[in-house]
């Protein structure tokens, strides 16, 4: 995570007793950060106070120094007096600056300014490959004053920052494996309006709309019947009749017509005997109530009261017919035909997949067939942050939008690619498990809300031990930032 260290108000220290003649320098707007594989320093130097005599030169060299003494010298800046600048030009532009005691960054070319042309706002930039020892380092400004014959007159080391970690250890992104819930069972449901001649229980496939209605049932079964990745475990049929005949007769019709449909389907498919099951309901009063409730017919509320009454079915139907004959005739013509229907449900078990190539294929073609376990297997095998990695967890959460584990892992993938908006969206559906609390703490940390991050990480402990390293990092950040000047004003190294 990028972290900017502001200018510190520091007290300069001298490593030589004689430091007279070293002119001040203004330092402003420091950004000392890790960017990927590089450490990058940007700052503005006010060299106007750095007035040197004609035969002298002052050389400024930023040093990265670790707690253990590892040191790297960054490119220098030199302000040369008139005579010294002429000598510099005559000597083939060979700059001053003793760097033999320190490792120098590659490309350590000195920026040279003639004293009379020194700028007030020099934009200094340097970058160098990041090394592990830089994880806890500080920035020092070394200032050297040279006289004639290249002699070093004085030298000072001025701290510019306290020790800090330029790239704080971000919370470990932890992906949580979905629990194995066993076989994945799915269902396909529908309703068909198979027509029978009056008082008959024999199916005539060409009768009225039966080609279409029987085709609906067949199409649903065919969706999974020849699929090698699924096994049909049940075919359930439930027949309904309308209320216009005596209840006992409607019972016989519902039973007989459902049995006829079962026989018809059994002739089309080779199902084991235990696969198909039937049920029936002699009169579909619930369906009639839905039709009436959604209509604007006269005496609607009164008819609904009669439908909801505890009267026997035959008496109920007779009273509606007698009390509201016009409305009854309308219902008989427009609602009753739709009450003679068969509901069906196809239950099937989806094969478990362990082969990654097969999981990829199914995700491309039928992503709803994969369990969260299989999505996790594929995500765990992909390169973190890659297109496939992100696609796996994004697809999983689309298939299981309300599953906490799917949302936690999708949030973690978003955190890894620094998409904080999406991460927050997913975490809103992630529940309150320790895993979800830890992920919210990680988001708060990455957004530099350290108070909330600390609270959430403490809640996640001890269930999520990874939270401790983030708590340690928060403590380190707070310790390192105590001396940081918040107004960002310029300081003078004098």
DSSP classification of residue 148: G
pTM above 0.85, yes or no: no
Assess contact for 239 and 261: CB atoms under 8 A. Answer: yes
Going by DSSP bridges, is the β-strand pair 276-281/230-240 parallel, antiparallel, or unpaired? parallel
Q: 137 and 17, same structural domain? A: yes
Q: 471 and 361, same structural domain? A: yes
- As a whole number, mean pLDDT of residues 394-420 equals 91
Assess contact for 428 and 440: CB atoms under 8 A. Answer: no
- Measuring CA to CA, which residue among 466, 431, 426, 428 is closest to residue 445? 466
Distances (CA, A) of 128 to 40, 97, 103, 396: 7, 19, 12, 41
> 10 Å Cβ neighbour count for 61?
23
Distances (CA, A) of 323 to 79, 92, 299: 109, 117, 10
Q: 368 and 309, same structural domain? A: no
Q: 198 and 309, same structural domain? A: yes
Please enumerate in sequence order all residues whose Cβ is within 8 A of that of 108, keeping only pairs 6 or more positions apart, or say none. 73, 74, 75, 76, 99
Residue 379 sits in a domain whose CATH number is: 1.25.40.10
Residue 77 sits in a domain whose CATH number is: 2.60.40
Distances (CA, A) of 383 to 378, 379, 436, 480: 10, 8, 23, 34
7 domain-assigned: no
230 domain-assigned: yes
User: Which of 349, 372, 400 is the last residue in one of the domains?
Assistant: 349
User: 429 is written with which tokens?
Assistant: 């559906």
Q: 394 and 342, same structural domain? A: no
- Measuring CA to CA, which residue among 71, 78, 72, 75 is closest to residue 47? 78
4 domain-assigned: no
The residue behind tokens 């403590």 is 475
3-class secondary structure for 4-53? CCCCECCCCEECCCCCCCCCCEEEEEEEEEEECCEEEEEEEEECCCCCCC
**pLDDT one-digit tens code per residue, 228-267:** 888 899 999 998 888 988 999 999 989 998 999 999 999 9
Q: Kind and range of the H or E element at 493?
A: strand 491-493
175 domain-assigned: no
User: Which of 309, 332, 349 is the last residue in one of the domains?
Assistant: 349
- Calculate ∠ Cα 5-6-8, nearest 5°: 110
| Alpha carbons within 13 A on the beta-carbon side of 192 | 26
Strand extents, DSSP E, 177-309: 184-192, 230-240, 276-281
pLDDT-wise least confident of 141-150, 396-405, 476-485: 476-485
Determine the structural domain holding residue 461 and report its residue range.
Answer: 353-480
Q: 316 and 192, same structural domain? A: yes
Q: 459 and 364, same structural domain? A: yes
Q: 374 and 336, same structural domain? A: no
Whole-angstrom Cα distance, residue 379 to residue 388? 8
Q: 415 and 336, same structural domain? A: no
| Axis-axis angle for helices 372-381, 404-416 (nearest 10) | 20
Instruction: Kindly tell me the sign of the dihedral angle through the C-alpha atoms of 370, 372, 378, 379.
Output: positive
Q: 48 and 156, same structural domain? A: yes
Whole-angstrom Cα distance, residue 78 to residue 148? 15
Q: 227 and 369, same structural domain? A: no
Going edge to edge, which strands form the sheet with 184-192?
Answer: 184-192, 342-350, 230-240, 276-281
- Calculate ∠ Cα 359-361-362, nearest 5°: 65
Whole-angstrom Cα distance, residue 322 to residue 315? 10
In this predicted structure, what is the pLDDT of residue 103?
Answer: 59
In this predicted structure, what is the pLDDT of residue 207?
Answer: 83
DSSP classification of residue 346: E
> 10 Å Cβ neighbour count for 418?
11
416 domain-assigned: yes
Please enumerate in sequence order all residues whose Cβ is within 8 A of that of 232, keeping only pairs 6 or more positions apart, or say none. 221, 224, 225, 271, 275, 346, 347, 348
Distance, C-alpha 121 to centroid of its chain: 43
- As a whole number, mean pLDDT of residues 223-232 equals 87
455 domain-assigned: yes
The number of folded domains in the chain is: 3
178 domain-assigned: no
Whole-angstrom Cα distance, residue 489 to residue 481? 16
pLDDT category at 200 given cuts 50, 70, 90 is confident
19 domain-assigned: yes
Kindly tell me if the per-residue pLDDT of 434 is higher than 70: yes
Distance, C-alpha 190 to centroid of its chain: 36
In this predicted structure, what is the pLDDT of residue 193?
Answer: 86
Whole-angstrom Cα distance, residue 227 to residue 350? 10
**pLDDT one-digit tens code per residue, 436-457:** 999 999 999 988 898 999 999 9
User: Which of 349, 372, 396 is the last residue in one of the domains?
Assistant: 349
Kindly tell me if the per-residue pLDDT of 140 is higher than 70: yes
Residue 220 sits in a domain whose CATH number is: 3.30.1330.60
Kindly tell me if the per-residue pLDDT of 31 is higher than 80: no
Assess contact for 47 and 115: CB atoms under 8 A. Answer: no
Q: Of all residues in the chain, what percent carry a pLDDT higher than 90?
A: 43
Q: 412 and 331, same structural domain? A: no
- As a whole number, mean pLDDT of residues 86-108 equals 65
Distance from first CA to last CA of the chain, Å, rounded?
33
């Amino acid at each position: 995570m990028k972290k900017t260290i502001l200018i510190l108000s520091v007290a300069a220290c001298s490593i030589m007793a004689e430091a007279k003649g070293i002119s001040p320098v203004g330092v402003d707007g420091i950004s000392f950060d890790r960017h990927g594989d590089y450490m990058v320093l940007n700052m503005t130097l006010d060299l106007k106070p750095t007035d040197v005599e004609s035969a002298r030169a002052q050389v400024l060299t930023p040093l990265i120094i670790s707690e253990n003494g590892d040191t790297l010298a960054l490119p220098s800046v030199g302000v040369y007096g008139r005579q010294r600048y002429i000598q510099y030009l005559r000597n083939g532009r060979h700059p001053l600056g003793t760097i033999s005691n320190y490792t120098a960054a590659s490309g350590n070319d000195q920026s040279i300014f003639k004293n009379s042309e020194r700028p007030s706002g020099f934009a200094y930039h340097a970058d160098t490959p990041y090394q592990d020892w830089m994880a806890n380092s500080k920035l020092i400004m070394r200032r050297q004053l040279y006289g004639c014959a290249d002699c070093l007159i004085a030298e000072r080391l001025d701290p510019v920052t306290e020790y800090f970690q330029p790239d704080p250890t971000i919370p470990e992104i932890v992906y949580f494996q979905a629990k194995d819930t066993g076989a994945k069972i799915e269902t396909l449901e529908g309703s068909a309006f198979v027509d029978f001649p009056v008082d008959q229980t024999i199916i005539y496939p060409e009768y009225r709309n039966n080609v279409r209605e029987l085709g609906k049932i067949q199409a649903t079964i065919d969706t999974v019947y020849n699929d090698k990745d699924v096994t049909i475990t049940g075919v359930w049929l439930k027949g309904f009749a309308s209320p216009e005949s005596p209840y006992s007769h409607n019972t016989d019709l519902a039973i007989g017509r459902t049995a006829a449909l079962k026989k018809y389907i059994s002739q089309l498919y080779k199902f084991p005997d235990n696969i198909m099951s039937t049920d029936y309901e002699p009169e579909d009063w619930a369906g009639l109530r839905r039709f009436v409730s959604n209509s604007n017919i006269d005496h609607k509320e009164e008819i609904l009261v009669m439908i909801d009454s505890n009267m026997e079915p035959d008496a109920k139907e007779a009273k509606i017919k007698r009390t509201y004959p016009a409305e009854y005739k309308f219902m008989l013509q427009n609602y009753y035909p739709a009450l003679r229907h068969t509901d069906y449900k196809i239950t099937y078990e989806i094969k478990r997949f362990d082969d990654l190539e097969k999981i990829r294929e199914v995700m491309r073609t039928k992503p709803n067939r994969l369990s969260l376990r299989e999505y996790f297997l594929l995500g765990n095998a992909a390169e973190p942050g890659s297109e496939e990695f992100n696609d796996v967890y994004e697809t999983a959460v689309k298939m299981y939008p309300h599953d906490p584990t799917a949302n936690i892992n999708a949030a973690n993938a978003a955190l890894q690619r620094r998409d904080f908006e999406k991460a927050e969206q997913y975490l809103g559906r992630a529940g309150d498990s320790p895993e979800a609390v830890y992920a919210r703490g990680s988001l708060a940390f990455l957004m530099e809300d350290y108070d909330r991050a600390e609270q959430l990480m403490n809640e996640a402990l001890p269930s999520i031990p990874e939270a401790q390293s983030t708590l340690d990092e928060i403590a380190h950040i707070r310790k390192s930032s105590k001396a940081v000047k918040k107004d960002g004003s310029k300081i003078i190294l004098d």
